Structure 1
């Protein structure tokens, strides 16, 4: 799902580089290596699980967006294009340890 981060407030001095979740145990990294909402391009993307489809409604699970966020587009997930075995820096694994 591609969506417009309409409530985001990007400030270059504050958001261009920061520690993920503002945690001191995380490295100082650039905004494009994070999933933070305050981005210069205000475009969000999340892979979701489809729960149900009807004529005028798509119900999904796992959408990382605020209720009412404008949806820009819905794309299919194809493992051949959307790599399942992507490699991430070690700090990403630490960041996600207790996220869900």
Structure 2
């Protein structure tokens, strides 16, 4: 059985929209827009490329902090950062 893994962008949008993650008005609206665009975007010529979004998110795993207490550690995006980066690179 193949289980589809949800994009971290969509997963974050759903958890914010469901109220599981507390967020401000503009973040909630951005998450709702993402979910609405997934449903209605193709009719308007929009598409969300999950692979492109994931590649952009994964890129940060190749970066390392260079200074301070985190020096040498891999840069790990938080869920809200994955939402921003994935949205920027995933929507086409």
Give the TM-score, by structure 2 length. Answer: 0.25
- More helix as a share of residues: 2
- More strand as a share of residues: 1
